[in-house]
């Protein structure tokens, strides 16, 4: 069980968000895409879905594609399919309201999706694209490497250790923690990467304000206990 803490208030220079599972619920299209990939190559879809969340498409394809498959071409095919398949994509509850309350120069998007897919999914969910977006095309190493979060913080003119990150899955949580950012888990993920972090069910309970030139975020957090049981992440990018 999780322990309910008193409301938490955090003053930071900026806020960094993952996209899929954090701001956008894209579970339906992601499952369709990876199941089609698994069927085409006679693979176990459940194994793929269990590890694909939060990772770049080309990395997942490389990990599972049978010998002889052109992984680059296969990844491009999957991304092209996802860009045009937006059926079922919706905003995570509270995402639109929270983003609207933040100055556009004080938040960024850090995602394992490519730029075209990021724009398609944010648009389908009715969410704005901030000036700073760090996507799969912008980094040499994807999550769980912290490069994306370090890059986003630098582009916002601050250090990652002065930011608050909202993430939902293992790869992203590991990346955020490695960057030095304070990290909040969005949703049910509760395996080792989330241990000891604050958690919110969704973004409806998160409030943003300003004090002494800094952003102040408040939320009624539940602490993810060390060694808590894993709740398998929803598939996504």
pTM score: 0.83
**Beta-strand relationship, 24-25 and 90-91:** antiparallel
Q: What is the pLDDT of residues 129-188, one digit of tens each?
A: 999 999 988 999 999 999 999 999 999 999 999 999 999 999 999 999 999 999 999 999
Q: Three-state SS for 104?
A: helix
C-alpha 113/C-alpha 19 separation (Å) is 8
Residue 232 has pLDDT above 80, yes or no: no
Which residue from 5, 9, 6, 11 is spatially nearest to 161, judged by alpha carbons?
11
Q: How confident is the model at residue 236 (pLDDT cuts 50, 70, 90)?
A: very low
The arithmetic mean of pLDDT across residues 98-116, rounded, is 95
Phi, psi dihedral angles at 148 (to 5 degrees):
-60, -45
State the pLDDT at residue 79. Answer: 86
The arithmetic mean of pLDDT across residues 98-126, rounded, is 96
The arithmetic mean of pLDDT across residues 53-62, rounded, is 82
Annotated catalytic residues are 18, 20
State the pLDDT at residue 149. Answer: 98
- Distance from the first to the final alpha carbon of the chain: 28
State the pLDDT at residue 70. Answer: 92
Counting residues of the chain whose pLDDT is more than 70, the rounded percentage is 90
Q: Where are the alpha helices (DSSP H) in the chain?
A: 27-41, 45-52, 57-64, 71-84, 95-100, 115-124, 147-155, 170-179
């Amino acid at each position: 069980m999780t322990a309910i803490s008193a409301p938490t208030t955090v003053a930071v220079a900026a806020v960094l968000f993952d996209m899929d599972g954090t701001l956008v619920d894209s579970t339906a299209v992601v499952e369709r895409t990876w199941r089609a990939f698994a069927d085409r190559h006679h693979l176990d879809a459940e194994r793929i879905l269990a590890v694909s969340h939060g990772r770049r498409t080309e990395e997942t394809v490389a990990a599972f594609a049978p010998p002889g498959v052109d992984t680059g071409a296969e990844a491009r095919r999957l991304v092209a399919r996802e860009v045009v398949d937006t059926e079922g994509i919706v905003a995570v509850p509270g995402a639109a309201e929270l983003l609207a309350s933040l100055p556009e120069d004080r938040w960024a998007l850090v995602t394992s999706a490519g730029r075209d897919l990021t724009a398609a999914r944010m648009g389908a969910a009715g969410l704005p694209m901030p000036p700073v977006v760090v996507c799969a095309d912008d980094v040499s190493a994807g999550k769980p490497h912290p490069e994306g979060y370090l890059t986003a913080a630098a582009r916002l003119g601050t250090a990652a250790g002065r930011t608050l990150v909202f993430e939902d899955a293992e790869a992203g949580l590991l990346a955020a923690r490695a960057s030095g950012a304070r990290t909040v888990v969005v949703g049910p993920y509760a395996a080792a990467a989330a241990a000891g972090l604050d958690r919110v069910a969704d973004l409806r309970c998160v409030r943003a304000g300003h004090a002494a030139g800094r952003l102040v975020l408040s939320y009624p957090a539940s602490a993810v206990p060390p060694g808590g049981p894993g709740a398998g992440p929803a598939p996504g990018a």
